[in-house]
A and B are shown apart, each in its own frame.
Chain A
Amino acid sequence: MSTLDPRSPRPPAGSGAAHAAGRHRRDERSVAAIFLVMRRMRVPLMALIAVFAISVLGLTLVPGEDPEGRAHRLSFFDAFYFMSYTATTIGYGELPHPFTDAQRLWVILSIYLTVIAWAYAIGALLTLLQDRAFRQALSMQHFQRKVQRIGEPFVIIAGYGQTGELLARSLDALGRRMVVLDTSPDRIDALDQAPLRGDVPGLVADARSPHSLRLAGLESAHCEGVLALTDDDQANLTACMAVGLLRPDLPVVARTVSGAVMTRMQAFGSPTVVNPFDRFGEHLLLALRAPSSFQLMTWLEAGPGADLPDIGRRPPAGRWVVCGYGRFGRALVADLRDGGFEVTVVEMADAGLEAARADGVDLVEGDGSDPDVLESARLDEAVGLVAGTSDDATNLSMIATARQVSSRLFLIGRQNDPAYAPLFQAVQPDSLLVPTELVAHEAYAHLSTPMLWRFLQQMPGKGDIWAADLVAELVERCGERLPALWRLHLTPPEAPALQRWLADGGIRLGDLLRHPESRERELEALVLLVRRRDETFLKPGPDLVLEPGDLLLFAGRPEASSALQTTLVVDATAEYVLTGQRRPVGWLWRRLDRRPDDEHAREVAEHR
């Protein structure tokens, strides 16, 4: 309110003003519940006070007598005591002396009055507790308190559908904190039952309103990203706009299936827009050309603990039959044709037919699940079939029909509704597009650490054999379950014990990866990427010399991570790991060790 108050000082201009106004609105919201109670309870409380006052006053005025028959009036204290236990129906009897009839007459009246007043007040309070507006105010307040109490970095997930759920699980496994917004109360209720380790505050709110995002902590210093994952393109676009304008420094990952919306999103800041239909075409081409690179990519994107995915079979070159020429079919056909594949499209909807004719693709008109239509598309001569309509039942029957035509066909299915997942698993297509999963994996790669995304971008350039070797090495060191990924910045706060060695000619990567207990053993970890200013080294060899300020992306077992932590922080461990010299840790033993520090360092430098 003070922002409307002419006497209050004007808030400073610029972003500070927005922040101040936002903070104020938050305060106002958080006291809303208590004010609601006070306002609603005004009349019942006044009735209660009035009835009590009349009863007590009357009781002190009505003449009474003590057991000896002398006149005695109740004091205010006695009267208040008597009315308190009578009105609340406790009733200890007539104190301090038995009442006279005149007093009893007054008490009868008081009892009825006070009981009614109490019932009214308690009834009003109970009604208020069940009031929808009041409950909303309470849950909002509760949500806000929880968000404000998150004392560590968190991301805002707008839209807790399939994608949001998958992503929340992966990020939770990394120990990251989240705040969830969804328009459906059912989804927010589902959040409470989700098997998440962290406490995830959820609010039923529309991501389209910047106010909801603000409630979810958009302006908090701990907010480190926003994910717009609702199934509504407009809502995602609005969320993108809100973040781009209010917190331009925050990374945004947004989902859309429309190219036009994608362009509009990119007008606000630089959000990462994931279009599952577009991305699937790129993935498919990668899978067809470089199965090992694809395997590595899907594995790393699947989140910690994921099993190594099967390496797909590689279909021979040839013609593809794509059923369904909607947004997905169109994007995929464009990718396939760019990749040098011949394509025949089967489509029956008018819009799709028109688009196909405009694009000049080889077209067969008809229902893709009809064997005759598939035959006229010469499926028996094709290498693969894409069942890419927006209807799951049609896609399933197309896959089944195609399998009867030829068992050699490479089958790609598109699953829209998660309820069909078991059926799609049962028909076992060679490749399956689940848009929600794809978005979740891409968003994960962006958010878990930005370096993973960089790695995935550059990795295909290294070739398939390189990727196959890397997969083999990862499996050998860490097993068939995806190890944890973490990053390390070689700066004084993160690696204090290494600074001396870094400044003093650098550290061989191979030396850093030795075990702090016995240096002959290697840590069960791999360095996937080293980034130094503008240079990037993908899976560098053990001879790479690290410099101060290098950023490293590790993959490895959690034990390796904690072992490495010791090396980074404890000076003596670092010295042992890097040089093999055991140095005393305590001050006394260091004195007794007699070697001055600089002489020792020179010795070590010579040693290397």
Chain B
Amino acid sequence: MNLEKVVFGFFVLLAATLNFGFFLGDISRPELHSVYELFAAVVVNLIATVLKFGDRTQIGAVHLATSLVADLQLIAAAVTWTVAANIAGDGLTATETAAVVSLSGGALLANVVSVILLLVETVTYHRNQ
């Protein structure tokens, strides 16, 4: 067993699960989507991205790309949330919540691809043994 692989797998999976947790629930109801979960998803996604730095294999490059996409979507969601809650003045409306959650949904897709890549890597690793 390799500790590095455990940490890597842990963060990739955690990024996807947190993202999924935030995404879950009616898309336009702000009370179903915790901002803390969004925050956790952003942070864990960033860490997962940094973990993927410096891998020069083909699969490593795709891994990094999916993470960057997820980061981009989640940060966009966080910025949208900030604008809606702090700057626009009328709190989170249904439209704005829908925008935030759908952005995180896009990130979820990228995270799912990331998890699939992880599985593919694991499966081929075993087959080569």
Contact = CB atoms under 8 A, between A and B. Distances in A.
Contacts of A75: 82, 85-86
Contact of A39 (B54, B57, B82): B54
Contacts of B86: 75, 77-78
Interface stretch (B23-31, B45-53, B93-101, B110-118): B45-53
Contacts of B36: 57, 60
Contacts of A52: 43
A2 B58 CA distance: 8
B85 A56 contact: no
A45 B50 contact: yes
B39 A49 contact: no
B43 A53 contact: yes
A317 interface: no
A169 to B, nearest CB: 42
B43 A41 contact: no
Interface string B72-110: 000000100010011000000000000000000000000
A39 B64 CA distance: 13
A75 B57 CA distance: 41
Interface of B is mostly: helix
B5 interface: no
Interface in B1-50: 35-36, 39, 43, 46-47, 50
A49 B50 contact: yes
A35 B56 contact: yes
Contacts of B35: 76
Contact of B46 (A1, A2, A40, A49): A49
B47 A57 contact: no
The size class of the interface chain A forms with chain B is: 20 to 34
Contacts of A40: 54
A39 B53 contact: yes
A46 B56 contact: no
A57 B36 CA distance: 8
A77 B82 CA distance: 6
A472 interface: no
Interface of A: 1-2, 5, 28, 31, 35-36, 38-42, 45-46, 49-50, 52-53, 56-57, 60, 75-78
19 contacts: A1-B57, A36-B54, A38-B53, A39-B53, A41-B50, A41-B53, A45-B50, A45-B53, A46-B50, A46-B51, A49-B43, A49-B47, A52-B43, A53-B39, A53-B43, A57-B36, A75-B86, A76-B39, A77-B85
Interface of B: 35-36, 39, 43, 46-47, 50-51, 53-54, 56-58, 78, 82, 85-86
